[in-house]
Amino acid sequence: MTEAAIAASHEVMAVYADPSPSFSLKSDATPVTEADTRAEAAILSMLRKWFPDIPVVAEEEVASGKSPAAVDRFFLVDPLDGTKEFISRNGEFTVNIALIDNGVPVAGVVCAPALGEIFVGQGSQAWRGELVEGEIRNLRPIRTRPAPPRLVAVGSRSHGTEGTTDWLKRFDVDRFVSKGSSLKFCLVATGEADIYPRLGRTMEWDTAAGDAVLRAAGGIVTDMEGKPFRYNKRGQASDLDFANGHFVAYGDPRLCGIAAAGME
C-alpha cells in the first residue's frame, strides 16, 4: 500500500509541476484533474497485481460507474484527496489508500507529496515519515495525546460549516486550525490537534486512510451519537453507496463522553 501511494504521488507531482493544471467537473460538481486519473491508474495497477483477490473501490472508477460487488474485505482509494487544494496550489492534498475489513479501516496510508510527508497506520501502530525523492526517511512512531484542558480543534479548509462552530461550543477550544484533505486526521494522530468534527458530506474514500492512521495512533472516530464509524455503506436510502454521515475524530477517546454529555 505504501509503495502504491508513493507511485501515485509521483504521478500527482508530475501534473503539479504544471503551474496551471486543467480540471473538469464531475456530475456532483467536484473537480477532477489529470493527476486524479493518473494516480488512480498507478494505484489500481499495483494493488490488483499484488492483491488480486482483494477488490478495490476507487473514487474515479466509482464516478464512472465501476464498483465491485460487496465483500467484507476491500481497498478504498482516493487518488487525490483535496483536489481543490491541488488546484489552489497550497500543498494540502494527499493520496489515500485504506484496507477495510468488516467495516473497519485496519490499515491506511496518507501521503502528502507536496509537503514531503507520509503517514502509515496498521493495527495499533502508526508512523510518520519524510518522503524524499520517492523514498521514506526518518520514519518514527506517532501517538495521539491526552486531551489538555483547552483543546486544539481542526477542520476543513474548503468545506467549513457554521454547524461545526456551534457543535464545538461544548468544549473549551483554545484554537481552531484549518487544514485540507486527510491531513486533518493526521494532525489529531500526531497529537498536534485533539478533535476534528465534520458536519458536512464526505465519501468513504475521503476518510478511510486518515481514519486508519488515527485509530492506529490511539484515537477513535464516531458518528454524532458516539457510535463507531463504519465503512462499506451500500444501499443507503438517504444517499449514494459509500457516502458518509457526519462524524467526529477524537485523539483522546475520553472526549467522546464529553461530547455525549453535551448532547443531553
CB burial string 18-45: b at 16+ within 10 A, e below: eeeeeeeeeeeeeebbbbbebbbbbbbe
**Is 18 within any annotated ligand binding site?**
no
Secondary-structure percent of the chain, ordered helix, strand, coil, rounded to 5: 30, 35, 35
CA distance 213 to 110: 8
Contact 184, 70 (CB under 8 A): no
**Is 194 within any annotated ligand binding site?**
no
**Is 82 within any annotated ligand binding site?**
yes
**Is 91 within any annotated ligand binding site?**
no
CA distance 204 to 199: 14
**Is 101 within any annotated ligand binding site?**
no
Kindly state the greatest CA–CA separation across the chain. 52
Contact 230, 104 (CB under 8 A): yes
**Is 59 within any annotated ligand binding site?**
yes
Task: Look at the block and give the residue holding cell 486531551.
Answer: 147
Task: Look at the block and give the residue holding cell 472526549.
Answer: 255
Contact 178, 160 (CB under 8 A): yes
Binding residue positions for Mg(2+): 59, 78, 80-81, 206
Binding residue positions for substrate: 59, 80-83, 206
Binding residue positions: 59, 78, 80-83, 206
